[in-house]
Amino acid sequence: MIGAPVLLLTACNDNSANSASGGSGGSGGANGTPASGGTGSSAPKTSAAVITVTPADGAASASFSEPVKVAVANGTLTSVKVTDTAGKELAGQLSADGTGWTSAAAPASGTKYTVAATALDKDKLEADSNAVFTTATPANTFVGYFTPEDGSTVGVGMPVSINFSKPVTDRKAVQQAITVIAEPGVEIVGHWFSSTRLDFRPQEYWAKGTKVTLKLRLKDVEGAKGVYGTQSKDVSFTIGRAQTSVADLAAKKLTVTTDGQVSAVYKISGGSPEHMTWGGKMVISEQYTQTRMNSQTVNLGSEYDIADVPHAQRLSTSGTFIHGNYWSSPSIFGGQNTSHGCIGLRDAQGAQDSGTDGFKFYKSSMVGDVVEVVNSGDKTVAPDNGLNGWNMGWAAWKAGSAV
């Protein structure tokens, strides 16, 4: 009874020994292949390529004046994609050696971007990088208030005029961000009247039917130190029929020419010898069926205050209008210059009499038409007094361009 357990234990030991001996040969295999989970297994290899994105991942106030850059060490880039939250992609260029990528333009301000980049090392192992950053929003901005309005139809003398909300010191940068094109094509040049005003026009009046497009690409353009534009938009307008008028204040008549033919002749009264009318080419910039005219607004004291001047069309910023007149004797029209500088046509109070000259001329006119005043006895209106750049020669106009 004592010997049996010993034999059994020996038998168990013998079996264990045989299993260990056989396991050693089986686990290595006849060809020496290690078993799964053995000490001979290898970990996946990692790409040696290291990708760096600028601005860095997580940046909350990244620069919008510098391009986005992606670089790789120990490898070459195979793909770079930079998109904003609307899915718009920021284009860029890969370097010749494939180690760098630079966006063609700086990112927009106040915008979140996602960067996805991949690269291969010398062993063709792939590395990838995903980064998200948001650009800063400028504290100081400016806009350009433009005329004419989008979708409008205007006369042949209408320039594109832009008034900026803050003074521009980098005129070249701002002008380069603004394009005016015409169909049919014609040379169009910008002219700076001041740090806040830039006008564009061709050498001669627009041809009737011309389609003009203003392309404003001012967003993030630094107009002055630390002051950035905010606009990126297109504005289009059409030139209507070709109508110009000549107001001869010696003959006291207004001759209207439409599409090359004289369409009307009206008797007028211009500025008196004490208050002569500006001479030169003046563009209609505003139209009012009725408006109030008060002499105090043009520094003439209390000489007049008329609440309902009919059919008034502005010719200069300083207060020159061509308008209807119901309060003066009919004999002055075509006979005497008696106004305070405006040009008057016979009209009726209330602006409803379609038979009057004031009514007829107003109805035939549009913003952008040119009224040229001759024989007024006064000097030529300043080119920046209203939309009146046509009083500047082409060479002088081009000299005022910053590009």
Residues labelled as active-site residues = 323, 342
Both tokens of residue 47?
Answer: 């790409």
Contact 303, 291 (CB under 8 A): no
Contact 398, 273 (CB under 8 A): no
Distance in angstroms (rounded) separating the CA atoms of residues 208 and 298? 35
Distance in angstroms (rounded) separating the CA atoms of residues 150 and 388? 21
Residues 6+ positions from 248 with CB-CB distance below 8 Å: 254, 255, 374, 375
Contact 368, 157 (CB under 8 A): yes
Contact 219, 230 (CB under 8 A): yes
> 271: number of CA atoms within 13 Å, CB side?
20
Place of tokens 């549009």: 366
C-alpha distance across the termini of the chain, in Å:
116
SS3 357: helix
H/E segment holding residue 113:
strand 112-120
Distance in angstroms (rounded) separating the CA atoms of residues 377 and 194? 28
Distance in angstroms (rounded) separating the CA atoms of residues 311 and 365? 10
Three-state secondary structure of 9-27: HHHHHHHHHHHHHHHHHHH
Distance in angstroms (rounded) separating the CA atoms of residues 376 and 276? 7
Distance in angstroms (rounded) separating the CA atoms of residues 190 and 59? 39
Distance, C-alpha 101 to centroid of its chain? 28
- Parallel, antiparallel, or unpaired for β 370-374 and 280-283? antiparallel
Rg (CA), the chain: 40
